[in-house]
Amino acid sequence: MTWLITGGAGYIGAHVVRALTTAGERAVVYDDLSTGRADRLPEGVPLVVGSTLDGERVARALAGHDVTGVVHLAAKKQVGESVERPLHYYRENVEGLRVLLEAVTAAGVASFVFSSSAAVYGMPDVELVTEETPCVPMSPYGETKLAGEWLVRATGRAAGLSTAALRYFNVAGAAAPELADSGVHNLVPMVFDRLTRNAAPRIFGDDYPTPDGTCVRDYIHVVDLAEAHVATARALQSSPGLHLTLNIGRGEGVSVRQMIDTINAVTGYDRPPAVAPRRPGDPARVIASADRVATELGWKATRDVEDMITSAWEGWIHHHPEAARD
């Protein structure tokens, strides 16, 4: 098969491209390069620069490369920005997906993997979040991901397209330093950024009903996440008409304080965190149940938090050499 990966020049996308090509699949990347970088792509992987809102360009890419499956990662993904610019997020994430699916179904593509998010759950009051946990997103970003799942599933059933929605939990780490997350929006790079600037890492609230008072999250290594995409692609390829909705996490919770302690140990900075007020909308605990993905795909995450932080730090130093400790 030939897989078109939208957003394939981004942090997660580049890892998915690498995993697919390593597994022997052919890959083509479609990316507007608004946040992605062409130098992340393996040699020989074609890049088509364009927006998913450009249906004609998408259609040409699908036909020109004989695409038989799509992995759709291209999206706007900052929760705070989505609150400030909801129309922009709905246009990019929902209308862009609609245009893409229109081209995909017209081209007779057989399989479609949709990048969703644990943000669809909102603030679940459960020990483990299963795929049956009610979805009550608390931001326009989460709403667009849930609407995207609905649109993908409905289109799949109407058009005979095999589909999967993968709900990512908290992604960290890197397969190689040059592929590391270059943004400063998630916890690990945010802490790296503070340490590099000789500032204390921040904890937003230490009075949550958790063992150490800080929020607990499920972190997954980006390489494990990418390998889950390969397993999903193979499942859709071998089972026409399949429709999956899967959590992609480790099923283990790690608190913000534990993450910062591990970051301090790995980096050698040893800077105690400062406690700031809670951020509105932060749930105390969000941990995936990873049972369904193990049953459906035979997939399980194998890399731990220290692996994530160590590889992410190597990537941070690659992009920010001034951060290295003697």
- Residues near 238 by beta carbon (within 8 Å), at least 6 away in sequence: none
Q: Is 90 a catalytic residue?
A: no
What order do you get walking across the sheet with 69-72 strand by strand? Answer: 47-49, 26-31, 2-6, 69-72, 111-117, 162-168, 243-248
Distance CA 123, CA 104 (A): 34
Instruction: Estimate to the nearest angstrom the gap between the alpha carbon of 229 and the chain centroid.
Output: 11
Distance CA 142, CA 147 (A): 9
Rounded to the nearest 10 degrees, how much is the dihedral formed by the CA atoms of 36, 23, 70, 292? Answer: -100
Q: Which two tokens mark 22?
A: 């390593």
* Count of other CB atoms within 10 angstroms of residue 309: 25
Catalytic residue among 141, 168, 208, 219: 141
- Residues near 80 by beta carbon (within 8 Å), at least 6 away in sequence: none
**Would you please indicate which residues are annotated as catalytic (active-site) residues?**
141
